Amino acid sequence: MIQYDYLIVGSGLFGSVCARELTDAGFKCLVIEKRNHIGGNVYTESIEGINVHKYGAHIFHTDDKNIWNYVNKYAEFNRYTNSPLGLHKNKLYNLPFNMNTFYQLWGVSKPSEAREIIEKQIKEFGFKNPKNLEEQAISLVGKDIYEIFIKGYTEKQWGRSALDLPAFIIKRLPLRFTYDNNYFSDKYQGIPIGGYTPMIENMLKGIEVKTNVDFLSDKKQWIKQTKNIVYTGALDAFYNYQFGVLEYRSLDFNNESINIENYQGNAVVNYLDKNVPYTRIIEHKHFEFGNQKSTYITKEYPKEWQMGDERYYPINDDKNSVLSKLYKDLALKEKSVFFGGRLAEYRYYDMHQVIASALSLVKKLSNDD
């Protein structure tokens, strides 16, 4: 029997924004979530009073005032500014590449001096038609920056030599010739005070939500109960992998509670050397300027994705583009199933982008009704 206007599969940002907006527009919604908690990958869990980003560090940033106002309806944001550090051979550098980095690297303090070194290296070592990621990166930023900041980190991230990675992975590498360590250049930035989970709880207030429910394990039964579906799970899984499996890069997180107040003095430290197996250490308390007595850190280990692992980064290559297109063509033919979010669209979305995309879907659905 039909009980709902919309069944929303997944309680990540995409599903939660859709549920909120569709409910406010007068539709009856049910959210089902296969994990034992809401929030999808932005989920934070309070451990010893520290809000831990369980699926990787999440820093909210946007240039869009409407999106900023939207999230501020559901959470108060702090003034956190992402200023990561990079460790290479026991030396710390500021990121993103800016005058602090160039001073630490070459001892130069004037923008013109830094520019001169970079331009000279590009001229000397750059390539007219870069054939791989290494050649591309050197052609954009010169040899020193490539070798210290890009090579080891990127090879760990992708599990392959930079010589075997396509040039298009890196389109541009912004260089900043001011002493500005703010990673993002967006106007608005911060972390919801108390973590992302209360923000999602606020979005879903008054809406029926069922966790520990996998839509795909009883698809037919769910379809019978609803007029429409907003599906935010994996696209290939919805179609029972009939054309093949879409690939991802995944991550292992190694968490540690440490009985000291401050472990690394910053939320994000990147480990740039190839021989260190993890890419970053996150110290969660610094996202919220915590002063708890102990601390909690997470080491991130990139890995090949296998069925059963969490899907993190879609693979942007020909094989997966062709495959995802086959599934997307099928999805377009659906009349009452709407696909959205990072998994169902097989694309990388930042949080502000996924919210914008959900709002735009709801607008379309409300107009069509």
Q: Total residues contacting ligand FAD (rule CB under 6 A)?
A: 33
Select 273 or 350, whichever has its Cβ closest to ligand FAD: 350
User: 224-239 b/e with 16+ CB inside 10 Å = b?
Assistant: eebebbbbbbbbbbbe
Please identify which residue in 97, 146, 271, 349 interacts with ligand FAD, judged by CB under 6 A: 349
CB atoms closer than 10 angstroms to residue 285: 22
Active-site residue identified among 20, 176, 311, 342? 176
Contact region with ligand FAD (CB under 6 A), list: 185-193, 285-293, 320-328, 344-352 = 344-352
Each residue 297-316 as x (binds ligand FAD by CB under 6 A) or -, in order, gives ---------------x----
CB of 11 closer than 8 Å to CB of 33: yes
Rounded to whole angstroms, the Cα distance separating 212 from 215 reads: 10
Q: Is residue 172 among the annotated active site residues?
A: yes
CB atoms closer than 10 angstroms to residue 183: 18
CB of 8 closer than 8 Å to CB of 232: yes
Please identify which residue in 156, 285, 286, 342 interacts with ligand FAD, judged by CB under 6 A: 342
Identify how many contiguous H helices and E strands the chain contains and give both numbers: 12, 16
Shortest Cβ 197–ligand FAD spacing (Å): 12
Rounded to whole angstroms, the Cα distance separating 335 from 57 reads: 36
Asked if 287 is part of the footprint of ligand FAD (rule: CB under 6 A), the reply reads no
Shortest Cβ 139–ligand FAD spacing (Å): 28
Select 7 or 99, whichever has its Cβ closest to ligand FAD: 7
Select 130 or 198, whichever has its Cβ closest to ligand FAD: 198
Stretch 5-34 residues interacting with ligand FAD (CB under 6 A)? 9-15, 32-34
Please identify which residue in 19, 42, 52, 133 interacts with ligand FAD, judged by CB under 6 A: 42
CB atoms closer than 10 angstroms to residue 13: 29
Asked if 232 is part of the footprint of ligand FAD (rule: CB under 6 A), the reply reads yes
Select 139 or 189, whichever has its Cβ closest to ligand FAD: 189
Shortest Cβ 249–ligand FAD spacing (Å): 9
Please identify which residue in 27, 29, 41, 170 interacts with ligand FAD, judged by CB under 6 A: 41
Shortest Cβ 354–ligand FAD spacing (Å): 4
Give the helix ranges, DSSP H, for the chain: 13-24, 65-72, 99-106, 111-125, 133-141, 143-145, 152-158, 196-203, 219-224, 235-238, 318-333, 351-368
Helix, strand, coil % over all residues of the chain, rounded to 5: 35, 20, 40
Q: Is residue 300 among the annotated active site residues?
A: yes
Dihedrals φ, ψ of 178, to 5°? -130, 165
Q: Is residue 20 among the annotated active site residues?
A: no
Which token pair is 112? 């013109």
CB of 138 closer than 8 Å to CB of 131: no
Q: Is residue 342 among the annotated active site residues?
A: no
Stretch 54-93 residues interacting with ligand FAD (CB under 6 A)? 56-60
Q: Is residue 115 among the annotated active site residues?
A: no
Rounded to whole angstroms, the Cα distance separating 273 from 87 reads: 8
Please identify which residue in 6, 153, 215, 287 interacts with ligand FAD, judged by CB under 6 A: 215
CB of 112 closer than 8 Å to CB of 150: no
Please identify which residue in 84, 126, 195, 341 interacts with ligand FAD, judged by CB under 6 A: 341
CB of 340 closer than 8 Å to CB of 17: no
Asked if 350 is part of the footprint of ligand FAD (rule: CB under 6 A), the reply reads yes
Q: What angle do CA 284, 302, 326 make, to 5 degrees?
A: 115
Residues at the contact surface with ligand FAD, assessed by CB under 6 A? 9-15, 32-35, 40-42, 56-60, 214-216, 232-233, 312, 341-343, 349-352, 354
Q: Which residues are catalytic?
A: 172, 176, 249, 280, 300, 348, 350
